[in-house]
Structure 1
């Protein structure tokens, strides 16, 4: 092998104590002292192991039935926001009595047209059955009772009707299944679509995706753990801990949902993190316990494991919680609930790793290695690979650092042209009813019918005053000349040939000049204090043209004594994006600063936390670019089984940042905790890094592989948002654990040398009893 270096001698001394005989080095084996809090905690857990297991058993017995009810308490949609579009919806609901709870029903015949008697009778019979079965049906708007030709396709074979419900959105969601059961036809194809059916279907498909992900992930993770440990008992423990975390988290989410809105996607996040992180923490603890068990009895092995691996797990959980807490800063129900769910599952995973897991292995003791399937790779062959890798990287730090950093920066550049969008029916599979109805409505009748823009006006006096009529008239004239507008409907639709003067005269004195029948029609669009203009765009709901149309309407200077709100599907989604990215810089700053401080306290170094933050930022930036290439540009879509959306969901960069920044710090903590143990003893930066990577390389790689497999199981989801998140997070972890943690971190630590540990204003005094 050639001449042994000082680094090799230190490596051998720390891994093979028997080889230290006769060595004159002042290196001493790390001896964890009883006075340390976590050492004492390990002793307590060992002593009270039966009690701890009994408490967890009772918790699980209570959690299982509560967790099974959680999906019924979760909210669809993305929650209320204090935006212009939401205020416009409130005016329509509260001032004009236009309920937000409505369902669009699409009818289609392959042979008949809507004016045929059999077509008309079948629609009437279908709607009559619905109204008889559901007393909450407040009204139905059809092309027959409104005479609206725009509710009919050009060939007359497809129509849509609007069923108005006298109930809240949540109640309407709960009753969606019953509505569908009572809405059917023997001769016509019928679909329900619109906001309520779409989010109802999201709930159902999301739950199905969750079950499938669990079914795929559990056996894959078990295979990896068996390969890592070689023993069924040791491999089964982390998986059991992950399952416990998921079950108890679901019960806690059920409880939280009684007090605050929780998004239906919170279960996907909780399952992914619960399985991935709890298994990772357990992997670290079980691995360290097996190491210590070779040198100590069970009680002391538990105590030492808690004071070493336990410390790493605590700080890993802290960084993850800080990252996930960034989502709590958003005034956006979906993100806030994902943050709550994520923080909850992280705290649960930490609790499991510090109580249930050590209590379990205390009972097992040496039997943790029972049911061995095959022997693990020998220590010298397995560990020395990582030592040699780190040594090679540190001999050629610039060769590693420069090309890898350039690669990460280049991979991230597509994110600079990201097109942020928001989900609608197109994120659902094509065989789902609301998606089918949306597609038929868009293709047969028009894209704009599926997502109109609503311009709402309110007046403290009367919208029918001459100056207000003038402002409204000018707005409709401006819209009629805009090529992005298919058509518009308003109080002026009743008299399409009138001049402005004629409108002012007809609407004067609060409609005193209007006959009763015309008044009834006008009341559809206005009352004395509020009115709206319905704008049907010529393009899809989130197309660039439709978004630009919303911006131009909002920029148009209107006169009169009125307040204006622009709402509707496109405006609402645009406002949601604005709310999210208005808070994103604050969340980023909170996560960066808080994690930096946490790592500063752990490593007693000013430089290492800064390096960790920068490296995480680079891996996330590279992941962002990869997501744009896949989901926006369509690369690898056939390989991954996805349809190109043409945009990246606006929530994804926020969720990826908060979760990845916390999770990837786990691997940094796992690695540098071991490095610091040796550096505190030896003061040798190079050998400390080699030892740290040698001891944690296999665990970090295994933990990352487990997270990638768990994320990959979510990449099989039918909902594109979940698929996008699974692929994005899996890529982030893969990049971080391979390129960043295994190569860039050792290379940079070699370049910076002892400057890694620079901390001029921190008391970095060694612990008592160390050399």
Structure 2
């Protein structure tokens, strides 16, 4: 593989326009297909086998009018009573809107100052254009707003409207450009990783649109994919660019330097990208469609950025020539620093005192992870939105006028062929602790099923609401009856995610360990890498709990109050972060093992590997942290929490893990770092992970594999 990458990189540098034009054609072709035949984004939250899903299926079959999306129009009059004639006129206009199947009778509050109108659609929310649909709701109720009423909107349709994007991406790109400029001192060198990453990102995002034509792709999938793809894409290009600059520092011609960089750092990029893809594939084990498509979508973007790093980047490096160096370094023979003396001194210091630094780092990481023991995961709702948002205003008005539980009514669907006694069921429901109201049953058109709307005493995010759902299921529901609605679906979703988290973790860790064992021909090195990545993830979970659930940073992030950690975060963040963290591990271990194979010095190889990669890993980590923190500005709570969690984990990974835990543990293990039992050594394939075979004819080790030092 390294020989192929060497030839590919050298050919691209010698004939750059061929590769650049090919990439322009590929990006244009994929973008054209996406524009012509691409699909729309759809959230598919089906939870097969759960009670809420069975109830939803019964509603879809027997109550088509209740099975689609809904919107709530909340009309309020400060210091007076709502004009019911105006409400009636608004109901008529609402009933005439596209896809509206029914408009429920307005429900006035006890003091008459608020009126609640529920609008029901005959299609799911993903089949509607939320922004356009919300505009139609506003137009239909314009008369009420014009007569001095406050009109706010809640429910599925308004809550599915997303704010315009682009700010998070722009912040990340600008921050990355500044960091690269400071690191390389060359505008050309700073711009190349960005340009290459954006090219891969463009192809990948268009690929997501094409995927949406064949599968339901979640509405947040492109944002997650862009967040991940932008970070790893810049990093991958940065790894190859740094190795290319080292080649130029050795006096190699530009094509030769590009070829060798592709054969070494490019090979590390391939392995790192494959590790990210393995981690994302773990989301398939969740068996939840929305998570599966998030993994596929992000995988498409990651694969595209890997391809751009090993094909497009060598081409633009060929065009740039020696302009990727600082002006003072461009003269032939000018000395160029390829390693950091400060990092080498630090690595030597940690290696001389490994136990002290190991224990200190472990205490820090475990302290940061401790809050995660009390983490409460729960999907976000309108109460987490800023107070200026109409869905938050609607939520607060409903809670104030009708009670907190009115924001999350429960729907009890009953198959009357199995349980015909709806009167008795209604009495039992009304007598259940935590339920304040049970509406009369609504009968299906064929009178084979009924649905009862139940108002709990607690809002959807209240921990006590889970107990209400559990009591109803355990003590009240007869055969043929199931409970659904926002709160019941939240209960099922949280439990399903908790149950499937551990299989995903196990599969991702096991497959990554196996791949690293094959690549580095070591048992302890990949085991240590997996343990350290789990430490980083645990610390990130702990910080998320403190910032969001404890509310330590909620206000700074634009949240009105403390909120639970989103149920989506544990699975998504683990899959993305485990793969991203392995990027640095692969890049660092590749250089350390390269030195180990060359010198046989277990301790010196760690210091050299850290010294050579320290600057690039620090720059890459800073870029990724900046990109992820930019996404903390996203209005969506899931993306906001993902951005904060990933930024914290990457920062810890590049500092505490790479600069303390790695040198400390490798110093303690010594030659055992590269120990592999002989039976495994005989059966595992030999992979040239360091580019020795592909480094070109001028390479000192060309034509022969490196001799592996004796093992302990």
| Shared fold (TM-score, shorter chain, > 0.5) | yes
| Equivalences for residues 17-416 of structure 1 within 5 A | 36-63=3-30, 73-76=40-43, 78-79=45-46, 81-101=48-68, 102-114=70-82, 119-132=83-96, 134-143=97-106, 151-173=107-129, 176-183=133-140, 184-185=142-143, 186-187=146-147, 188-199=149-160, 201=161, 204-205=162-163, 208=164, 210-294=165-249, 295-369=251-325, 383-416=340-373
- Specify whether residues 136 and 667 from structure 1 end up closer, same or farther in structure 2 by C-alpha distance, changes over 3 A only: closer
Q: Offset at 1:631?
A: 0.7
2:600 aligned with 1:683: yes
1:346-394 deviation per Cα after TM superposition (whole angstroms, max 9, x unaligned): 101110011001111122222333778999x986696111111110010
1:85-123 deviation per Cα after TM superposition (whole angstroms, max 9, x unaligned): 122122123113433233221111224424xxxx12211
- Specify whether residues 130 and 533 from structure 1 end up closer, same or farther in structure 2 by C-alpha distance, changes over 3 A only: closer
- Specify whether residues 215 and 36 from structure 1 end up closer, same or farther in structure 2 by C-alpha distance, changes over 3 A only: closer
Structure-1 separation of matches of 2:199 and 2:209 = 16
Residue 460 of structure 2 aligns with which residue?
Answer: 541
- Specify whether residues 214 and 353 from structure 1 end up closer, same or farther in structure 2 by C-alpha distance, changes over 3 A only: same
Structure-2 separation of matches of 1:656 and 1:635 = 20
Q: Offset at 1:275?
A: 1.4
Structure-2 separation of matches of 1:59 and 1:406 = 49
1:35-85 deviation per Cα after TM superposition (whole angstroms, max 9, x unaligned): 833323333333443221111111233455666899981125745644221
Q: Offset at 1:571?
A: 0.7
Q: Is the 8 A contact 2:169 2:630 kept in 1?
A: yes
Partner residue of 1:530 out of 449, 454, 469: 449
After TM superposition, the score normalised by the length of structure 1 is: 0.83
Aligned length: 679
Q: Offset at 1:620?
A: 0.8
Structure-2 separation of matches of 1:624 and 1:649 = 11
Q: CA RMSD in A?
A: 2.7
Q: Secondary structure at the match of 1:648?
A: coil
Residue 730 of structure 1 aligns with which residue?
Answer: 647
Residue 661 of structure 1 aligns with which residue?
Answer: 578
Moved more, 546-555 or 578-587: 578-587
Q: Is the 8 A contact 2:338 2:612 kept in 1?
A: no
Q: Secondary structure at the match of 2:552?
A: coil
Q: Secondary structure at the match of 1:635?
A: coil
Structure-1 separation of matches of 2:362 and 2:626 = 26
1:292-343 deviation per Cα after TM superposition (whole angstroms, max 9, x unaligned): 0232112211221111111111111111111111112222233112201211
- Specify whether residues 40 and 750 from structure 1 end up closer, same or farther in structure 2 by C-alpha distance, changes over 3 A only: same
1:173-221 deviation per Cα after TM superposition (whole angstroms, max 9, x unaligned): 455145224322221222221112211x2xx22xx2x301122121111
Q: Is the 8 A contact 2:43 2:216 kept in 1?
A: no
Structure-1 separation of matches of 2:551 and 2:38 = 33
1:711-738 deviation per Cα after TM superposition (whole angstroms, max 9, x unaligned): 1101122222221111111001011110
Structure-1 separation of matches of 2:73 and 2:477 = 35
Structure-2 separation of matches of 1:110 and 1:85 = 38
- Specify whether residues 603 and 610 from structure 1 end up closer, same or farther in structure 2 by C-alpha distance, changes over 3 A only: same
Residue 609 of structure 1 aligns with which residue?
Answer: 526
Q: Offset at 1:426?
A: 2.6
Q: Secondary structure at the match of 2:102?
A: strand
1:253-309 deviation per Cα after TM superposition (whole angstroms, max 9, x unaligned): 110001111111112112112211111011111111011023211221122111111
Structure-2 separation of matches of 1:442 and 1:718 = 23
Structure-2 separation of matches of 1:69 and 1:198 = 29
Residue 437 of structure 2 aligns with which residue?
Answer: 487
Structure-1 separation of matches of 2:556 and 2:152 = 32
Gaps of 5+ in 1: 1-33, 144-150, 492-521
Moved more, 283-292 or 99-108: 99-108
Moved more, 750-759 or 94-103: 94-103
Q: Offset at 1:657?
A: 0.8
Q: Is the 8 A contact 1:129 1:182 kept in 2?
A: no
Q: Secondary structure at the match of 1:421?
A: coil
Structure-2 separation of matches of 1:390 and 1:43 = 34
2:706 aligned with 1:743: no
- Specify whether residues 744 and 299 from structure 1 end up closer, same or farther in structure 2 by C-alpha distance, changes over 3 A only: same
Q: Is the 8 A contact 2:39 2:211 kept in 1?
A: no
| Equivalences for residues 617-632 of structure 1 within 5 A | 617-632=534-549
Structure-1 separation of matches of 2:270 and 2:48 = 35
Q: Offset at 1:527?
A: 5.7
Q: Secondary structure at the match of 1:301?
A: helix
Structure-1 separation of matches of 2:60 and 2:338 = 71
2:607 aligned with 1:651: no
Structure-1 separation of matches of 2:451 and 2:314 = 64
Q: Is the 8 A contact 2:428 2:476 kept in 1?
A: no
2:588 aligned with 1:671: yes
Q: Is the 8 A contact 2:385 2:560 kept in 1?
A: no
Q: Secondary structure at the match of 1:634?
A: coil
Residue 473 of structure 2 aligns with which residue?
Answer: 554
Partner residue of 1:581 out of 493, 498, 520: 498
1:655-678 deviation per Cα after TM superposition (whole angstroms, max 9, x unaligned): 111111100111111111001111
Structure-2 separation of matches of 1:674 and 1:613 = 18
After TM superposition, the score normalised by the length of structure 2 is: 0.90
- Specify whether residues 226 and 280 from structure 1 end up closer, same or farther in structure 2 by C-alpha distance, changes over 3 A only: same
Residue 500 of structure 1 aligns with which residue?
Answer: none
- Specify whether residues 69 and 435 from structure 1 end up closer, same or farther in structure 2 by C-alpha distance, changes over 3 A only: farther
Q: Is the 8 A contact 2:31 2:206 kept in 1?
A: yes
Structure-2 separation of matches of 1:489 and 1:355 = 64
Structure-2 separation of matches of 1:270 and 1:261 = 15
Structure-1 separation of matches of 2:687 and 2:645 = 42
Structure-1 separation of matches of 2:357 and 2:662 = 10
Q: Is the 8 A contact 1:401 1:747 kept in 2?
A: yes
1:667-695 deviation per Cα after TM superposition (whole angstroms, max 9, x unaligned): 11111100111100111011100100000
Structure-2 separation of matches of 1:336 and 1:291 = 40
Which entry has the higher C-alpha Rg, 1 or 2? Answer: 1
Residue 446 of structure 1 aligns with which residue?
Answer: 403
Structure-2 separation of matches of 1:603 and 1:716 = 39
Q: Offset at 1:611?
A: 0.4
Moved more, 293-302 or 669-678: 293-302
Q: Is the 8 A contact 1:81 1:576 kept in 2?
A: no
Q: Offset at 1:544?
A: 1.5
Structure-1 separation of matches of 2:338 and 2:676 = 36
